[in-house]
Amino acid sequence: MKTVIGIDVGKFELETYIKNKSLTLKNNDSGIKKFLRLLSKENKNLLNSFIIFEATGGYECLLKKKLEENNIPYHMAHPNKVRAFAKAKGLLAKTDKIDAKLLANYGDVMKPTADLCQDNAEIKELLKRREQLLEEKNREKNRSDKELNDLVRRSIKKHLKWLDNEIDIIEKQLKQLSKEDSNQNQMKLLTSIPGIGDLTAMYILSYLPEIKTANKSQLAALTGIAPMNYDSGSYRGKRFIQGGRAPLRKALYMSAVPSIKFNMQMKRFYERLRANGKTAKVALVGVMRKLLLLAASIIKRGTPWVYQDC
């Protein structure tokens, strides 16, 4: 039986709860090494340990990296789910020690599956940085036509030039990573689908490591394009999509739009949905789901896209 360990991740410290004991460690290399040594004493086989921690806006990245390097199974829980679990238990108090114990209890009761190791972590980080730079570029563009002061306008222009240069550097690095042996074959497979370009392929590979193992319903739910029911008694509410991995969903949307024009398979599928009374937005979500499942099928079988009438 695996030992479930809860870790409350802070900016500077890791509050751990293991076998009814609490321990505070530094959230740095030395602190995590100390934790791993303690873990090896408690469990001779590290695979018998299961670590639970929350996503904390990036402060968990070093811990996650070290656990993956040592092949220690872990689950990064969504903070909302953990807080809902605490409320269900009637636990209102909140401290680092209480949170660490709560996470261990959450793992014991809910028994979440271990997260898959991220094979394309560097690509994912670069995609995130590209999004940040593009958002800042859009903000500066929106400011540029509202400023009358020449000095401010020159400052914005200079900043936009710097942003363009940084975006270009990131995109060149992404292109280089996509050509590496570990990614090149999968990139070719995904981009063989008309409508899916290099960027969308990179989003799929970096944001959806489950693509080789998850079923159709799981893939749609992970991406946030699975229709959710809203029924009660005789009432039948409108279906809607929510949750999932927003960056991947946005990338699929940007691929679905040209797909209904240039990919005949997707175009006919979209037109059939519209003919059946679906709104344009609902039909487009259907195309996004179709593209995702097609990408998963191609990755699993290892052969490029072939046109099929649907």
Q: Can you name the CATH fold of 121-178?
A: Helix Hairpins (1.10.287)
pLDDT band at 310 (very low <50, low <70, confident <90, very high): low
Q: What are phi and psi of 141, to 5 degrees?
A: -60, -40
So what's the pLDDT on residue 190? Answer: 96
Instruction: With a cut of 80, say whether residue 147 has pLDDT above it.
Output: no
Count CB neighbours of 12 within 10 A.
9
- Helices (H), ranges, 147-263: 150-178, 181-191, 198-207, 216-223, 246-262
So what's the pLDDT on residue 236? Answer: 83
So what's the pLDDT on residue 172? Answer: 97
143/160 Cα distance (integer angstroms): 11
So what's the pLDDT on residue 86? Answer: 96
H or E, element range at 96 = helix 96-110
Q: Which two tokens stand for residue 286?
A: 């259907």
So what's the pLDDT on residue 217? Answer: 93
Domain ranges of the chain: 3-110, 121-178, 188-301
So what's the pLDDT on residue 109? Answer: 95
136/114 Cα distance (integer angstroms): 35
pLDDT tens for 195-244 read: 999 999 999 999 999 999 999 999 999 999 998 888 888 888 888 888 89
So what's the pLDDT on residue 229? Answer: 85
Lowest mean pLDDT among 6-10, 150-154, 287-291: 150-154
Q: Can you name the CATH fold of 3-110?
A: Nucleotidyltransferase; domain 5 (3.30.420)
So what's the pLDDT on residue 238? Answer: 81
pLDDT tens for 40-85 read: 877 666 668 899 999 998 899 999 999 999 889 999 999 999 999 9
So what's the pLDDT on residue 19? Answer: 85
Q: What is the mean pLDDT of the chain?
A: 92
For CA atoms 191, 197, 198, 199, the dihedral sign is: negative
Higher pLDDT, 42 or 28: 28
For CA atoms 82, 87, 91, 92, the dihedral sign is: positive
pLDDT band at 254 (very low <50, low <70, confident <90, very high): very high
pTM here? 0.86
So what's the pLDDT on residue 241? Answer: 85
pLDDT tens for 290-305 read: 999 999 999 999 999 9
